[in-house]
C-alpha cells in the first residue's frame, strides 16, 4: 500500500472524539480552498501523465529490472536524504510561496526534458529486438535513461519541499472542523487525476508522441501555479520565528524530539515506512508485470490496469469517513492493513488483468481509509509552529523507505530470475509483500486502538486551549 499522502494530501480523521461530537456544523470551505482544490487537480493530472510516461520511456530503453528500478529510486531518494531540512524550511517561510516556487522549478525541468525526448526519441532501441534481449541500447537511449534518472532526482527534491509545504498549508486554508471534508474531497480529486484520468490519458498521448505527456504535464503544473499565487491570507508559520539565522541542527532536533515522544504518531510513522517499502518493492516493476505476466503491451492498457487503485481511492474518498465512524478509527486502520494482505497476494498469483484491476480497487479504498485517519490526525494534533518539521520527520520514516524498497524490488527480480524464471521472479515481490503485511498487522494490533487515537486528540485539544487563551 503506497499510502500516498502526496501533494496537498489526503486524510480525514475517523470517529470523532467525545470532545468533538457536539461541535457545530462546519461552514463552507471557502474560496481559498477551491483555488487549492483546482490547483491540486491540475497538478495531479500532470503527475498522472508523468507517472506513465516515465515508466514507459524507461521500459522502451531497457528491459533490465534493476535499471528501471533506478529511475524509481532516483525519484524517492530525496525523501530519505532531504526530508528533515525541508521541514525546517517549511516552518520558516511562507508555505504558499514554497509550493508555488517548487512547482515553477518543476515546470522548467519537465519542459526542458520534453524537448530532449522530442529530439532523441528516434534513437530508441528497436522494440522487437529489445523484447528478445538482443538489442544493446544505442548511445542516445543511454543518454535518455541517464537524463531520466537525473530528472527524477531533481523533481523528487522539489516534491519533498512542495508536498510538505502543501500538507501544512491545508491547516491554514480551512478550519479544523472542516479538515475531514476538505481533505477527503481533495484526496478524491487528486486520486482521480493522478491514477484514474492521468494514466490512460498518458497512454493515449504516448501513442501520439513520446514527448507529449511531458509537455502536457508542464502546462498543467504552470496553470496550477497561477491558482496557488492567487491564494489570499497569511501562510507563514504561527508561533515560530521566521527571521534570523536558521539553526539547522537545533530546529530539526526540536521536531524529532516532539515526534519521538508522541508514541502514537511514532508508531504510525514506522508502520507507514514498512507499508510503503513493501509497496515499492512490489510495484516498482509493475510496468514489466503488466507487459510480461498479464500480456498487455500497449501504453493505454498499462494505464487502464492501474486505474483500479484510483477507482478504489475515489470510492474511499467518498466513504472513508463513514467507514471509519462505523468501524471506529482503530479497527479501520487494522482493516486497511488486512485488505492489503489479500490484494498483494491475489495480484502475485493471478494472470488476469480484471482480477488485478479489482484488487487495485480494494487497495485504493484501503489506502484512502488509512490516509483519512492519519493525515487529519496529524494536522489536528501537531502544533502549527512544528507542523512542517514533524510532518517532514514523519515522512522521513514513512517515505524514506520507498527508496530502499524501490532498489530492492529491482534487485530481487534480477536475482530471482535465474532460479524462478522471469514470470515468477516478477510475481515474487507481490507475494513477499503480502506475507510481510501479515507481520505488520500483528504489530499494529496492540498499538493502534481507537482509545489511543481519541486520547491523543483530546490531549492536543487540552494543550491548545491554554495557548489560545494566552
| CA dihedral angle for residue 13, residue 16, residue 21, residue 24, rounded to 10 degrees | 0
State the alpha helices, DSSP H only, in 174-242: 179-191, 198-208, 212-229
Contacts of 3 (CB under 8 A, 6+ apart): 272, 275, 276, 279, 367, 370, 371, 374, 398
Q: Find where cell 507542523 sits.
A: 387
Alpha carbon distance 164, 160 (integer Å): 6
> Is 395 domain-assigned?
yes
Alpha carbon distance 375, 370 (integer Å): 8
> Is 22 domain-assigned?
no
> Which of 349, 302, 303, 38 is CA-nearest to residue 195?
303
> Is 145 domain-assigned?
yes
State the alpha helices, DSSP H only, in 243-352: 248-261, 263-283, 286-292, 299-305, 307-327, 329-349
Number of structural domains in the chain: 1
Query: Can you give the pLDDT at residue 464?
Result: 65
> Which of 5, 7, 6 is CA-nearest to residue 228?
7
> Is 19 domain-assigned?
no
Q: Find where cell 519533498 sits.
A: 160
Chunked mean pLDDT (size 10), the chain, 470 residues: 45 34 59 90 89 82 77 80 85 89 95 89 60 58 83 90 82 75 76 76 84 93 94 77 73 90 93 92 86 82 79 83 86 94 96 94 90 84 85 84 83 90 93 95 90 88 62
Task: Decide if 433 contacts 357 (C-beta within 8 A).
Answer: no
> Is 39 domain-assigned?
yes
Task: Decide if 403 contacts 277 (C-beta within 8 A).
Answer: no
* Residue 197 phi, psi dihedral angles, 5° rounding: -85, -45
Reading the block at residue 112, the C-alpha cell is 526542458
Domain that holds residue 67: 31-235+247-464
Query: Can you give the pLDDT at residue 362?
Result: 94
Query: Can you give the pLDDT at residue 163?
Result: 83
> Is 20 domain-assigned?
no
Query: Can you give the pLDDT at residue 267?
Result: 94
Query: Can you give the pLDDT at residue 11?
Result: 34
CATH number reported for the structural domain that contains residue 164 in this entry: 1.20.1250.20
> Is 14 domain-assigned?
no
Query: Can you give the pLDDT at residue 265?
Result: 93
Contacts of 112 (CB under 8 A, 6+ apart): none
Task: Decide if 190 contacts 39 (C-beta within 8 A).
Answer: no
Provide the whole-model pTM: 0.72
Alpha carbon distance 57, 403 (integer Å): 20
> Which of 266, 255, 297 is CA-nearest to residue 383?
255
Cα–Cα distances (Å) from 202 to 45, 60, 166, 198, 305, in that order, read: 9, 15, 25, 6, 13
Task: Decide if 198 contacts 49 (C-beta within 8 A).
Answer: yes
- Helix 263-283 vs helix 329-349: crossing angle, to nearest 10: 10
> Is 229 domain-assigned?
yes
Query: Can you give the pLDDT at residue 20?
Result: 38
Amino acid at each position: 500500500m503506497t499510502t500516498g499522502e502526496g501533494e496537498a494530501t489526503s486524510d480525514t480523521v475517523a470517529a470523532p472524539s467525545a470532545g468533538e461530537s457536539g461541535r457545530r456544523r462546519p461552514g463552507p470551505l471557502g474560496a481559498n480552498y477551491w483555488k487549492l482544490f483546482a490547483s491540486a487537480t491540475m497538478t495531479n493530472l500532470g503527475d498522472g501523465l508523468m507517472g506513465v510516461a516515465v515508466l514507459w520511456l524507461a521500459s522502451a530503453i531497457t528491459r533490465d529490472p534493476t535499471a528501471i528500478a533506478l529511475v524509481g529510486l532516483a525519484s524517492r531518494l530525496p525523501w530519505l536524504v532531504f526530508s528533515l531540512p525541508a521541514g525546517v524550511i517549511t516552518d520558516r517561510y511562507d508555505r504558499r510561496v514554497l509550493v508555488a516556487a517548487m512547482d515553477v522549478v518543476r515546470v522548467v525541468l519537465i519542459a526542458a526534458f520534453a524537448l530532449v525526448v522530442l529530439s532523441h526519441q528516434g534513437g530508441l532501441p528497436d522494440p522487437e529486438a529489445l523484447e528478445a534481449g538482443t538489442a544493446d541500447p544505442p548511445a542516445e537511449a543511454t543518454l535518455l535513461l541517464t537524463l531520466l534518472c537525473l530528472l527524477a532526482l531533481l523533481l523528487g527534491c522539489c516534491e519533498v519541499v512542495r508536498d510538505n509545504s502543501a500538507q501544512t498549508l491545508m491547516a491554514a486554508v480551512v478550519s479544523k472542523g472542516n479538515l475531514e471534508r476538505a481533505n477527503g474531497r481533495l484526496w478524491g480529486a487528486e486520486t482521480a487525476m493522478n491514477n484514474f484520468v492521468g494514466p490512460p490519458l498518458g497512454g493515449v498521448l504516448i501513442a501520439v508522441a513520446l514527448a507529449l505527456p511531458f509537455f502536457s504535464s508542464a502546462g498543467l503544473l504552470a496553470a496550477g501555479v497561477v491558482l496557488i499565487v492567487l491564494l489570499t491570507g497569511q501562510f507563514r508559520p504561527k508561533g515560530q520565528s521566521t527571521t534570523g539565522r536558521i539553526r539547522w541542527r537545533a530546529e530539526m532536533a526540536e521536531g524529532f524530539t516532539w515526534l519521538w515522544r508522541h508514541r502514537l504518531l511514532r508508531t504510525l510513522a514506522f508502520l507507514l515506512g514498512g507499508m510503503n517499502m513493501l509497496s515499492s518493492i512490489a510495484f516498482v516493476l509493475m510496468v514489466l508485470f503488466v507487459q510480461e505476466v498479464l500480456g498487455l503491451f500497449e501504453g493505454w492498457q498499462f494505464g487502464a490496469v492501474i486505474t483500479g487503485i484510483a477507482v478504489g481511492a475515489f470510492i474511499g474518498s467518498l466513504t472513508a469517513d463513514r467507514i471509519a465512524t462505523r468501524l471506529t478509527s482503530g479497527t479501520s486502520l487494522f482493516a486497511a492493513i488486512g485488505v492489503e494482505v489479500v490484494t498483494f497476494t491475489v495480484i502475485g498469483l493471478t494472470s488476469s488483468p480484471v482480477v488485478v484491476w479489482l484488487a487495485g480497487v480494494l487497495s485504493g479504498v484501503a489506502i484512502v481509509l488509512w490516509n483519512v485517519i492519519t493525515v487529519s490526525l496529524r494536522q489536528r494534533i501537531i502544533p502549527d509552529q512544528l507542523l512542517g518539521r514533524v510532518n517532514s520527520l514523519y515522512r522521513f520514516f514513512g517515505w524514506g523507505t520507498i527508496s530502499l524498497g524501490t532498489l530492492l524490488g529491482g534487485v530481487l527480480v534480477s536475482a530471482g530470475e535465474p532460479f524462478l524464471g522471469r514470470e515468477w521472479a516478477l510475481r515474487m515481490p507481490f507475494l513477499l509483500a503480502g506475507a510481510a503485511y501479515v507481520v505488520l498487522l500483528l504489530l499494529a494490533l496492540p498499538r493502534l486502538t481507537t482509545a489511543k487515537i481519541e486520547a491523543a486528540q483530546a490531549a492536543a485539544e487540552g494543550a491548545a486551549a491554554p495557548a489560545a487563551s494566552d
